[in-house]
Amino acid sequence: MARVRRPERGPASKAGRGDRTGGPREHRPGGEAPSRAAKPGPRADARPEARNPAPAGTAPERLVLPAPAGALPASVAPVILTLEPSPDYALLDSGAGEKLERYGPLTVRRPENQAIWLRRLAARDWDGADAIFTGDIDEEGAGRWRFPKEPLGETWPLLQDGLSYHGRFTSFRHVGVFPEQAAHWSYAAGAIERAGRPVRLLNLFGYTGLASLLAARAGAEVTHVDASKKAILWARENQDLAGLADRPIRWICEDAVRYAEREVKRGSRYDAILLDPPKFGRGPKGEVWQIFDDLPYLMALMRALLSARPLFVILTAYSIRSSFYGLSALMQECFRGAGGTVEAGELLIREAGAEPRLLSTSLFSRWTPTP
């Protein structure tokens, strides 16, 4: 993952992890207030039957979807997906609320709340990183980073499984890629290739497009949705860098829930779905997203959008006070009567070197149909 050459300068960007506002990852695209009518429908051919009346001044009305019926899918948990060190990416060390990573030849030091243990490496290894996030300058782009060895540009070229894309030093510590999700990308690409038929994939909260590009390279027709214009521009840059300009990818800058509702009303169907929602976010028209309130409704919409020959639905969640068992239960209820299996667990990164620790990064749940 992430083999790099030396950075080069690029256009300024505040695009965060699928962020609608350019803020931290927790403030990403959204939906609206909860509604008890937001229950999953049976398979993909469920159509909205009515609208819920909403009092004046409240959030937009939600579609009424038929409740799912039938047996729950099988459950497998916990499933632990671990990213191992490689020449392209490695977690060199972590501790004291920070992590030290290597992206190809570049080392990057930045905050990591999960790293509550002691560091293993010497202070000189940490202080000698090529890029160190300081967060002490109220400035956009790379202004909140310090480069001890030599000045670096805002962007630099990376590789993921042979696919070229740009990393970027953002003002809120992210670099444009979440390497722990490589397990999801590999799974999705393999399923698309094995399908041996046209596959339509929907990627909600798609951020800088790496999952979309890898899916398109595998042969999928991709719809990529993110409410951040900067993230969409970054993703389109990555498409050009990857040499995939001719692949069928629709880049949609829009609120994820609003887009999904319109797709349900249009009767659209997708064979594969990726979702990486934030804990909290605001949409481009003031929509408010709260993951615990709004995720059940969004998952109900995903059930309604699924085709008659589905491949998978993969949900990833960061920075929430929950358990993968909670995500598993939600996914099982959503796909009641659809058969298949729901797997749930954590995405981890194993440190390089002696006595490595496992850094927990996120929770996930994945539904797949019965073969």
pLDDT digits (tens, 9 = 90+) for 31-85: 333 333 333 333 333 333 334 444 444 567 999 999 999 999 999 999 999 999 9
Domain assignment present for residue 102? The answer is no
pLDDT in tens, 336-363: 999 999 999 999 999 999 999 999 999 9
Please state the domain count of the chain: 1
Task: Provide the percentage of residues in the chain whose pLDDT is more than 70.
Answer: 82
Partners of residue 146 on adjacent β-strands: 132
Measured CA distances, 329 to 40, 116, 214, 225, 347 (Å): 13, 29, 29, 26, 18
pLDDT in tens, 241-282: 999 999 999 999 999 999 999 999 999 999 999 999 999 887
Domain assignment present for residue 30? The answer is no
pLDDT at 137: 53
**Residue 300 above 50 pLDDT?**
yes
Q: Which residue has the higher pLDDT, 16 or 184?
A: 184
pLDDT at 59: 64
CA dihedral sign of residues 13, 19, 21, 27 = negative
pLDDT at 320: 76
Q: Are 156 and 5 in contact (CB under 8 A)?
A: yes
CATH code at 253?
3.40.50.150
Domain assignment present for residue 161? The answer is no
Domain assignment present for residue 150? The answer is no
Domain assignment present for residue 97? The answer is no
Residues spanned by the domain of 307 = 74-81+178-368
Mention every residue, 6+ apart, whose C-beta is less than 8 A from residue 3.
Answer: 87, 88, 103, 104, 158, 159
Domain assignment present for residue 283? The answer is yes
CA distance 204 to 195: 22
**Residue 108 above 70 pLDDT?**
yes
Q: Are 180 and 89 in contact (CB under 8 A)?
A: no
Verdict on whether the full-model pTM lies above 0.85:
no
- Per-residue confidence band for 138, with pLDDT thresholds at 50, 70 and 90: low
Domain assignment present for residue 110? The answer is no
For residue 324, the Cα-to-chain-centroid distance in whole angstroms is 16
Q: Are 4 and 158 in contact (CB under 8 A)?
A: yes
- Per-residue confidence band for 7, with pLDDT thresholds at 50, 70 and 90: very low
CA distance 233 to 254: 13
Mention every residue, 6+ apart, whose C-beta is less than 8 A from residue 213.
Answer: 163, 165, 235, 238, 239, 242, 244, 247, 249
Domain assignment present for residue 48? The answer is no
pLDDT at 306: 98
Give the range among 25-34, 91-100, 104-113 with minimum mean pLDDT: 25-34
